[in-house]
Structure 1
Amino acid sequence: MKKIIIYLLILLPFYSNAQNQEVENTVKAFFEGFHAKDTTKIKSVCHDKMLLQSIMEGQKATKLEEEKSSEFIKSFATFPKDLKFEERILSYKVQIDGAMAHAWTPYEFYINDKLSHSGVNSFTLYRENNQWKIVHIIDTRRKP
C-alpha cells in the first residue's frame, strides 16, 4: 500500500503539469485564432455562453465594459486587411480545481507594431467533454 501511495505522489505533479499545459494550450489556440483573425479557431476553444469584460483604467476614471461574444466574433469582419495586431503574452499562471481552471496572463498589445496598451487577462475555463473551453475573459487595459 505504501508503494502505491508513493507512486501516486510521484505521478501527481506530472498529471498536474499536463492539465496546466492543456489550459495554457487552449489560451494559446485562442490567440492563434485571434492573431490570424480566424473566428472558427477562436470559437473552437470558447464556450457558447462566454462572457467578455474589460476594465479600462484611465487617468480620471476606471470603468467596466462588457461585450457579447457574438459581437466580439463579428468584429473580426470589420478589421481592415492591412491591420496588424498582436497580443504578446508575457507569462502564464494556471490554477485548476476539477472542471474549472483559471489562467492569469499579463500582456502587451501592439497595433501595427506600436504599443497600444498593456494589462492582464484573466481567463476562466470549464472542462466539457474532455476539452477546456473559455467561459469568461476579463482584462485590464492601461495606456502607456
Structure 2
Amino acid sequence: MKKIIVICLLGFSFNGFAQNKEAEVMKIINQVFEAMRTNDSTMLKQSFIENPNTFTAYINKEGESVLSTGDFQRFVSAVGQPKEQVWNEPIWNEKVQIDGNLASVWVDYAFYVDDQFSHCGVDAFHLINQEGIWKIFHLVDTRRRDDCVIPDDIKP
C-alpha cells in the first residue's frame, strides 16, 4: 500500500513539473505576441536567441508551395516602429512538447490589424533552454486568408 501511495505521489509531482515547464515555454511564446501588440522590440528580442531562423510557408497564386526565409531584424524593426494600429495575433490550440532542453510549440493563430482580419495559419516554434532560460531559435508560420476557422472567443 505504501508503494502505491509513493508511486502516485511521484506521478503527481512529475505531472506538476511537466505542466510548470510547459507554462515557462508558453510564457515566452505569449511574450512574443504581447511585444507585437505593444510595439516593444526589446521584449520581442528577449524572446529569441541572437540570430534565429524564421520562415513562412505558403501557397502562392500559381498554387506552388513556397518556403520564404524571413529577416528577423526586419521583423524586430517593424514591431518596434510606432504605429497607430495594433497588431494582434491571438492564438489557440497550443501544443507543447518538451524533451530536456528542447521544446516545440505549435499554435493556431489569426492576425488582426486593429479589429480588421488579415490572415490566419499556424506558428511553429522551437526553443532551447540554456542556463534555465527558454529562447526561440526557430520560427516558421503558415499564412492564408481562406479556410480560417477562428473560435468566436478569439475574434475581436
Q: Would you call these one fold, judging by a TM-score over 0.5?
A: yes
Distance 1:9 1:88 in 2: 33
Of 45, 68, 72, the match for 2:71: 68
Identify the range of structure 1 (60-69 vs 125-134) with the bigger mean alpha-carbon deviation.
60-69
CA contact (8 A) 1:58 1:142 kept: no
More strand by share: 1
Superposed displacement of residue 90, structure 1 = 2.0
Task: From the superposition, tell whether residues 80 and 74 of structure 1 become closer, same or farther in structure 2 (CA, over 3 Å).
Answer: closer
Aligned residue in 2 for 1:128: 130
Q: Report the equivalent of 2:90.
A: 88
Higher relative contact order (CA 8 A, sep 6+): 1
Match of residue 35 from structure 2:
33
Runs of 5+ consecutive residues of structure 1 not aligned to the other structure: none
CA contact 1:87–1:108 (8 Å) conserved in 2: yes
Q: What TM-score, normalized by structure 2, do the two folds share?
A: 0.83
Superposed, 1:1-144 pairs within 5 Å as 2=3, 4-60=6-62, 61-77=64-80, 79=81, 81-144=83-146
Amino acid at match of 2:99: D
Matched AA of 1:76: V
Q: Could you say what secondary structure the match of 1:91 adopts? A: strand
Give the alignment's TM-score, normalised by structure 1: 0.89
Q: Work out the number of aligned pairs and report it.
A: 143
Q: What is the aligned-residue identity percentage?
A: 29
1:86 Cα deviation from its structure 2 partner:
1.0
Question: Aligned-residue CA RMSD in angstroms?
Answer: 1.8
